[in-house]
Structures are given as structure tokens and as C-alpha cells.
Structure 1
Amino acid sequence: MGMRRKEETHTTSFQAYANLLGEASQVMNILTRR
């Protein structure tokens, strides 16, 4: 169970990181478009 919990936390962290990357990508797209 402990390991499972750790995995869940890791997944959440990864999702948050991916979300951040996506946002940064959007910002870069807008900046490049201009």
C-alpha cells in the first residue's frame, strides 16, 4: 500500500509538471506568433 501511495503522488507530480510544460508551450506559441 505504501508503494502504491508513493506511485500516486509521483503521478500527480508528473501531471502537474506536464501541465506546467503545456502552459509554457502555449505562452511560447503566443509569443512566437506575435
Structure 2
Amino acid sequence: MCTGSMRWSYILLSRTSTLSLKIWWFSLIRAHLSSLI
């Protein structure tokens, strides 16, 4: 039970970190494109 909750929290954490990473990359690319224009 404890290991199961740890596993679930790890999956949740990894998913949220991947999402924030995508958002960070998107904002970075957008800032780069706006600076080019």
C-alpha cells in the first residue's frame, strides 16, 4: 500500500514535471521567435 502510493505520486510528479518542461520550452521558443521578428 505504501509503495503503491509512492509509485502513484512519482508518476504524478513525473507527468507534471514533463508538462511544465513543455510549457517552459514553448515559452522559450516563443520568446526567441518574437525577438527574431
Provide TM-score, normalisation by structure 2: 0.75
Structure 2: runs of 5 or more not aligned: 1-7
Q: Which runs of 4+ in 1 moved over 3 A?
A: none
Name the counterpart of 2:22. Answer: 15
Overall identity of the aligned pairs, in %: 20
Cα RMSD (Å):
0.5
Provide TM-score, normalisation by structure 1: 0.80
Structure number with greater Rg is 2
